Structure 1
Amino acid sequence: MSISIWRYIENSGVPMPDTQHVLVTGANGFVGSRLMEGLSAVPAYTVAGAVRRLTGESADGIQRHAVGDLGAQTDWRPALAGTDVVVHTAARAHVMADAVTDPLAEYRRVNVDGTRALARQAAAQGVRRFVFISSIGVNGNINIAPFRSTDLPAPADAYAISKYEAEQALKQIAAQTGMEVVIVRPPLVYGPNAPGNFGKLMEWVRRGVPLPLGAVNNRRSLVALDNLVDLIATCIAHPAAANEVFLVSDGEDLSTTDLLRRVGNAMGRPARLIPVPPSLLEVAAAMLGKREVARRLLGSLQVDISKTRDVLGWEPPVSVDEGLRRAVAPLTAGGQPSGG
């Protein structure tokens, strides 16, 4: 996997950076594990990971630190020793069937209090830059015009509220300490072994399940896992990234119908889509208590990445079709698209 910041350094004529020690939190997660893999291949970086608990020796040889559950009392100091840059991917993410009595309080405990504790300890240990993986949900959960990083935040659910409050805490700490903070707000991230609804959709297409999504004309921005990792790597080192907020996507917006068709193409099998009017799907979803699922499948959510392009000189290195091919590879025989 190529890393844009290395291409940027090589092509710009600026001096090669000294070795930077990068700590990735959530190192065993969907984004964190891929980021660790990508950064470890860049000569300018030494990489370590932070995880809740160790599960045995890592096959990649990268050091991991067990920090326990995330919250205000988490002691990050052993993991932070010698660190130049922190990339904070660990979070309490969307829980579709939440069993806790106060979901917002639980999101705040992990995503706000935990982030604040990490940032304060990082600044005290002399960390130069803190890259925070937030969420496009800070902007809102549906739009008519594409979101921009300068738009007034409008988080609409507990997860997004907690991410917004974490961003505000980080900006305050940056102002107090001088530690640089970079905020990245991704939309839905897809890739190999993707969790959540996207993983379910891929599996349904693979199994040939008929889906009533053949007439959805929405527009949604997505980001391939490798594109997100590439941007994060750029934000680690690019001088212009300091104290900025960046949106990220593949640069091509898709309808749900087109997305499923292209997932099928990547698998080498047609997606079985039934053209049901979205209005009927919305009514059915409301009756079944699935309004949130319907919003994600039927609504539009686009992001404008022009600031990311202009400030960082960044372009998504992976196309949508290539990103989907990589995403479906674990579901197809031998990692290759299967027929039938």
Structure 2
Amino acid sequence: MARGVALVTGVTGCVGRAVAAALRERGWPVRGLARTPSPEAVGYAEQLGDLTDPASLRGACEGVELVVHAAADLSDWRPGRRIWQVNRDGTRALLDEALRCGVRRFVYLSTVDVFGFDARDVIDETSPKRVPPYAYSRSKLAGEEIAWSYQRHGLEVTVVYPTWIFGPGDRHFVPELVRGLRDGKLVRIDRGAAPIELTYSENLADAIVLAGTTPGAAGGRFIVGDSYGLTVGQLFDRLAERVGAVPPARSVPMRGALAVAALSELAGLAGIGTGSGRPMLTRYAVRSVAGGMRYRLDRIRSLGYTPRVDLAEALRRTLAGLGRAPEGVRADGRG
């Protein structure tokens, strides 16, 4: 694929910044879409624009060969209209601008959540979409379906389904686990035995660039994970060791965890115990983290993808960056 300009949305987030770096390493001039100016806009041309304001995107794709759409609203609690405005309507607005400017390839970051939380089968790209009844999953699938519809206009579309994402700039997944460990509030669900498929952001960026620049990958779907082979309990243990916390000893059954999450959601609705009204735990979080889903990764590997950062180094880099993440449209945490 020709080395034109690459536009990366969500460039200040965990994934977007890694994608921008990976593209630069491969010789691409990078333009990063951000809502507000960032002091960390190094190595790419900053383009201001808001996915909820189509007029602000005008010109964002001028001279662009490749778009990597990593920006998303990841809220799992009372998202209202905004999550749909960002994940569905914002995707459509960006696609319109890409089409107007003659962009060749559009990479959309979806999520493995669109395949549902049924752990009985190993999930691959051909698995049926059993979208759970949560706004994040539903809005991401809506954005994906809109992206596929633009193929008939000549735009080459590729969709990537990341698993659980972590890395430098992660503002949600690992920070919330670390906070729970330090506060002694984290518990194991079903003894922590469920497998969890992780994706380190810099490895994911390599996969995204492969999927977005390999000619034969146009029109393709790719689940991305790093095959670290961890259970949820082992992840807790690794994090506890690194931050000097005591690993959780308590375990609750999945059914009990869902009941506690439901009560937490009710407390959130009532504004009890949380300044923002957001619950400490949600049923969505319980199912997606501890559901035990397994994924086949053959398709992304067929493009030559091999994670280059191992788990120990990935955790070291992630924990070293805690507390330094900028604010903005969220493009991290949940794939």
Q: Give the TM-score band, short-chain normalised.
A: 0.7 to 0.9
Corresponding residue number in structure 2 for 1:83: 64
Please give the per-residue CA displacement for 1:186-233, whole angstroms capped at 9, x wherever unaligned: 12101124222432112344x373633282211121111111111111
Using CA pairs under 8 Å that are at least 6 residues apart, name the structure with larger relative contact order, 1 or 2: 2
Bigger proportion of residues as strand: 2
CA drift at 1:257: 0.6
SS at match of 1:78: coil
Do 2:169 and 2:318's aligned partners in 1 also have CA atoms closer than 8 Å? Answer: yes
The match for 1:27 is 11
The residue aligned with 2:178 is 202
The equivalent residue for 1:37 is 21
Structure-2 residue corresponding to 1:60: 42
Check the 8 A contact 1:216/1:255 in 2, yes or no: yes
Query: Which residue does the alignment assign to 1:159?
Result: 136
| TM-fit CA distance, 1:277 | 3.8
Q: CA deviation at 1:124?
A: 2.2
**Paired AA for residue 327 in structure 1:** T
Map of 1:181 onto structure 2? 157
Aligned equivalents of 1:170, 1:291: Cα separation in 2: 29
8 Å contact from structure 1 (residues 27, 33) kept in 2:
yes
Residue aligning to 1:316: 307
Deviates more, 1:182-191 or 1:34-43: 34-43
Q: After TM superposition, give the deviation of residue 252 of structure 1 in Å.
A: 3.0
Find the aligned partners of 1:58 and 1:201 in 2 and give their Cα distance.
26
Q: What is the deviation of 1:268?
A: 6.6
Q: Distance in 2 between matches of 1:47 and 1:190?
A: 23
Aligned length: 304
Q: 1:209 to 1:233 in 2, by over 3 A?
A: same
Change (3 A) 1:193 1:60: closer
Q: CA deviation at 1:58?
A: 4.7
1:1-340 matches, cutoff 5 A: 18-43=2-27, 45-55=28-38, 58=40, 60-71=42-53, 73-96=54-77, 98=78, 103=80, 105-156=81-132, 157-175=134-152, 177-205=153-181, 207=182, 209=184, 211-213=186-188, 215-265=191-241, 267=242, 269=244, 271-279=246-254, 280-289=256-265, 290-310=282-302, 312-330=303-321
For residue 325 of structure 1, what is the amino acid of its counterpart? Answer: R
Q: Cα offset for 1:294?
A: 2.9
Contact 1:174 1:180 (C-alpha < 8 Å) held by counterparts: yes
Deviation at 1:114, TM superposition (A): 1.4
Look at both structures and tell me which one has the larger radius of gyration over its CA atoms.
1
Residue identity in the other structure for 2:122: P
Provide the rounded CA distance (Å) in 2 between the counterparts of 1:243 and 1:28: 27
Is the 8 Å Cα contact of residues 180 and 243 (structure 1) preserved in structure 2? yes
| Partner Cα separation in structure 2 for residue 113 and residue 268 of structure 1 | 40
CA 1:271/1:148 → structure 2, altered by over 3 Å: closer, same or farther?
A: farther
Runs of 4+ residues over 6 Å off in structure 1: none
Please report how far the alpha carbon of residue 185 of structure 1 lies from its aligned counterpart in structure 2 after TM superposition.
Answer: 0.8
Question: For the structure 1 residues 284 and 204, does the alpha-carbon distance in structure 2 shift closer, same or farther, using more than 3 Å as the test?
Answer: closer
Q: Scaled by the length of structure 1, what TM-score is found?
A: 0.81
Closer, same or farther: CA 193–202 of 1 in aligned 2, 3 Å = farther
Q: Do 2:59 and 2:97's aligned partners in 1 also have CA atoms closer than 8 Å?
A: no
Asked if the contact 2:32–2:44 (Cα under 8 Å) also holds between the matched residues in 1, the reply is yes
Report how far residue 293 of structure 1 moved: 3.5
Letter in 2 for 1:46: P
Q: Secondary structure at the match of 1:317?
A: coil
CA distance in 2 between partners of 1:117 and 1:192 (Å)? 29
C-alpha separation in 1, matches of 2:148 and 2:51? 24
Give the distance between the partners of 2:178 and 2:253, measured in 1 at CA.
20
Q: CA deviation at 1:76?
A: 2.5
Residues 88, 131 of structure 1: 8 Å contact kept: yes
Q: Is the CA contact (8 Å cut-off) linking 1:208 and 1:272 kept in structure 2?
A: no
The runs of 5 or more residues in structure 2 that have no matched partner are 266-281, 324-335
Per-residue deviation, 1:80: 0.9
Give the Cα separation in 2 of the matches to 1:193 and 1:62.
17
Q: CA RMSD in A?
A: 2.4
* Structure 1 residue 63 displacement after superposition: 1.1
